Amino acid sequence: MSVHGLNVARNAKAVLHDVDLTILPGRITALLGANGAGKSSLVLAMAGVLPATSGTIALDGQSIVGLRPEAIRASGVAAVPEGHQVLNDLSVEDNLKVAGSHLSRAQLRSALDVALGTFPELRERLQARSGNLSGGQQQMVALAQAVIARPRYLLADELSFGLAPVVVARLVPVLQNLASQGIGVLLIEQFTHLALKIAHSAYVMERGRICFAGEPQELISNPEILHSAYLA
């Protein structure tokens, strides 16, 4: 999935400027940058939630600009937006079933087994109201939904927000496992060292522009690149 020359405005204010970014199947791509840099806006544009002013967003070489979010999701792009976006009034089980509503009964059953095998504590809470779960458990539901939906691309916006470090540590192998199954993961992460450790490539945004694209190792070796982007 690739983005070229993307411009996006919110409330008539330009928030993304000529953004180029590619996420590859089976790879984790880290997207870093300070608060307000435009990371979430990029995810929302890629998911079809925010309109592009100009530029292209392509999936398998086909433009998806202007498609409805549901159509983009149906073609295999799953965004896990910032914040805990589970349906609070639904049970955990129903939230997971919603994510697999396009699957056959048998496929849904096995997808649920995989997701609950990954997050066993959700199995014990299947009938609980999702809104009553802890923040960490809600993020598990959001990730389990992504596992069940089996997207081709997963856009994960600050999965670790508000989570205890032990829970964050649990999410890492889940993301790596999804990538090893061929899913292209875009990882927005406040814990930059963690993202860079597991990413295959990295981008840094500064005020709506990409200011670095390259190897994670390059950012690890040259911390001043990130420092200046986070101070901008």
Q: Which residues bind ligand ATP (CB under 6 A)?
A: 10-11, 15, 33, 35-41, 82
Give the nearest distance from C-beta 157 to Mg ion in angstroms: 6
Rounded CA-CA distance 174/154 in Å is 12
Q: Which secondary-structure segment (H or E) carries 4?
A: strand 2-10
3/96 with CB nearer Mg ion: 3
Calculate the alpha carbon distances from 79 to 16, 33, 99 in Å: 18, 18, 12
With contacts defined by CB under 5 A, name the span among 32-40, 68-76, 87-95, 99-107 that binds Mg ion. Answer: 32-40
Nearest to 189 by CA among 175, 179, 208, 209: 175
CA atoms of 91 and 34, how far apart (whole Å): 35
Find out whether 214 and 202 touch, Cβ atoms under 8 Å.
yes
In the complex, residue closest to Mg ion by CB: 40
Q: Using CB under 5 A as the criterion, what x/- string covers residues 71-110 for binding Mg ion?
A: -----------x----------------------------
Q: How far is the CB of 85 from Mg ion (least distance, A)?
A: 13
Q: 184-188 and 153-157 as β-strands: parallel, antiparallel, unpaired?
A: parallel
Residue recorded with tokens 């929302």: 44
Rg, C-alpha atoms of the chain: 17
Tokens encoding 217: 């190792």
Q: Which is closer to Mg ion, CB of 42 or CB of 116?
A: 42
Q: Rounded to the nearest whole angstrom, what is the least distance from the CB of residue 204 to Mg ion in the complex?
A: 14
The least CB distance from residue 170 to ligand ATP, in Å, is 22
The binder of Mg ion chosen from 1, 8, 31, 40 (CB under 5 A)? 40
15: three-class secondary structure by DSSP: strand
41 lines the binding site for Mg ion (CB under 5 A): no
Nearer to ligand ATP, 128 or 211 (CB): 211
Q: Tell me the C-alpha distance between 174 and 47, whole Å.
A: 22
Smallest separation (angstroms) from ligand ATP to the CB of 33: 5
Kindly tell me which of 148 and 155 has the beta carbon lying closer to Mg ion: 155
Binding interface with Mg ion (CB under 5 A) = 39-40, 82
